[in-house]
Amino acid sequence: MLGGAANFGFLAASLVGLNIDRVAAMFGAVGLGGLPAWRYVLVVGFVPAVLTFFIRLAVKEPERWVKSRARGEASALSELFSPRFRSRTVVAALCATVAVLGTWVYQWVPTWVNAMGGPNAAHNRAAAQFWMAIGAIVGAFFGRLHWELAGATQDVRIFSVPQA
């Protein structure tokens, strides 16, 4: 859920970047004009943080977790590496590592586009970020759809083929 929401944040940031002149004019109309462009993006990025605060107030903790805490139960980090969970923990850590490394490479694309220079470098950078966000949103949607249609077991087989 968080990853999906982050993609919409990247999309919003790219739309601000693509329309920075209009955004600056809107801020100028309320007396906040003349700021460096990155500050407008930062202010627009603050909106989801405020929304998150109110969402967290409305979301209830799972009943099972609340009852567990009421009984004084606690989990130890070392439990993840017990024989019962060790293989799952290692596989999950490796999958997360691939995702993080992929995200790092992915986030460099706008910088690479900007390094190409040219008179439209800032616009091209925002456009690259826009299409990356669209691709991430569509990919997450179809990935989840595939997961539902094919089932988790089939997914694991498909993603394991390149490792064979």
Task: Specify the pTM.
Answer: 0.56
CA distances from 155 to 90, 97, 149 (A): 19, 19, 10
HSE, CB side, 13 Å, CA atoms: give it for residue 61: 8
155: phi then psi, degrees, rounded to nearest 5: -60, -45
- What the block records as the tokens of 105 is 């490479």
pLDDT digits 0-9 by tens, 43-85: 777 777 888 888 888 888 889 888 988 898 887 888 888 999 8
Instruction: Please list the ranges in the chain whose pLDDT falls under 70.
Output: 1-5, 147, 150-164
The CA-to-CA distance between both ends of the chain, in Å, stands at 30
